[in-house]
Structure 1
């Protein structure tokens, strides 16, 4: 499986002001409000968001992804590795010889789920993927466009982790890993990850 994020988070979607306020209140930092400092805070936020998303499988701010598989994990239904999924924009099958076919939307449906959103066939099974082919699923996932749409415990976990990254800048990384307080906040959002592809390849 290959999972590609089609667009990076826009800087204006990041909670830079919230992180600056958190640092002032939590650690007594006297921050300089300038472009360079804001760019640094944005970097720490991006790193913290990426870590939280990787550990929970939840997309905090809405954006589009493209998943490529060499075959369906299960032709009875294909789970998606991220949640919440707002829409599946298209599904395409490449036959490996240069022909790409988009599956008609009436041939499948998305079953939304906060843990394992799934694409189900309209019929019995999902269509055959040729041996040298691949299937590409383009989908949009996230809690919302604005930081206020992110659940409170996940938002707090991001601020705490970004603050740790800010405090640790320039050090040797001896305090690597996610702090216990952050782990406690995200624990209920964790999911048991399953493979997204390579499960149903038949001998042909």
Structure 2
């Protein structure tokens, strides 16, 4: 499976000014925007780190998921949530010719951690030998900062501030505050490791 982000988070949606206030950057002077680029970079890094830890997409974006086959004939679970829409499902053969699947043959099954595309009918069609499946979907809590749950917004600000201050943790460790704020959003994993 390969996941490609088709749209990125618009700069205007990022809480650059809010992070500046959180960091208590100098106020009372004309804002020349000189700190905006580093703040934006820290916010994007924090969002990416948190999204990868919790398997959730914070800002709504479009993605292309490329699969060699379905998990099963009746359903395929997505590695992220929340998903608001499956825009298209396309079977692509080895020669690159594609055939878009009729939306009446599949549906989105919502789930807080692992939403899935499910078959409406006998089974999801398999790609031909050497072919693949392209699924274009829209995922995320919403397009605006305010659409993201408050505790995740706070975790992003704390982590972005850590990145900005250069106090990033060793070996990818999270600060205690960030770890506690994102814990309820982490997927529950039950099983035995070999």
* Match in the other structure for 1:178: 174
Is 1:21–2:21 an aligned residue pair? Answer: yes
CA RMSD, 1 decimal = 1.8
* 1:78-104 deviations in Å (ceiling 9; x for gaps): 111111101000000012123200000
3-state DSSP of counterpart to 2:63 = strand
Matches of 1:34 and 1:17 in 2, distance apart? Answer: 12
* Match in the other structure for 2:90: 92
Deviation at 1:125, TM superposition (A): 1.5
Q: How many residues align?
A: 187
Structure 2 counterpart of 1:102, from 97, 100, 103: 100
3-state DSSP of counterpart to 1:138 = strand
Matches of 2:188 and 2:113 in 1, distance apart? Answer: 9
Structure 2 counterpart of 1:136, from 134, 137, 156: 134
* Match in the other structure for 1:189: 185
Deviation at 1:34, TM superposition (A): 2.7
* 1:118-145 deviations in Å (ceiling 9; x for gaps): 1110112111221211001000011111
* Match in the other structure for 2:192: none
3-state DSSP of counterpart to 1:36 = coil
Superposition TM-score, scaled by structure 1 size: 0.86
Equivalences for residues 136-155 of structure 1 within 5 A: 136-155=134-153
Which 10-residue stretch deviates more, 72-81 or 133-142?
72-81
3-state DSSP of counterpart to 1:91 = strand
Superposition TM-score, scaled by structure 2 size: 0.90
Equivalences for residues 24-43 of structure 1 within 5 A: 24=24, 29-30=25-26, 33-43=31-41
3-state DSSP of counterpart to 2:41 = helix
Runs of 5+ in structure 1 lacking a partner? Answer: 194-204
Matches of 2:55 and 2:170 in 1, distance apart? Answer: 26
Matches of 1:175 and 1:109 in 2, distance apart? Answer: 40
* 1:15-40 deviations in Å (ceiling 9; x for gaps): 1111111111xxxx436733220111
Matches of 1:18 and 1:50 in 2, distance apart? Answer: 18
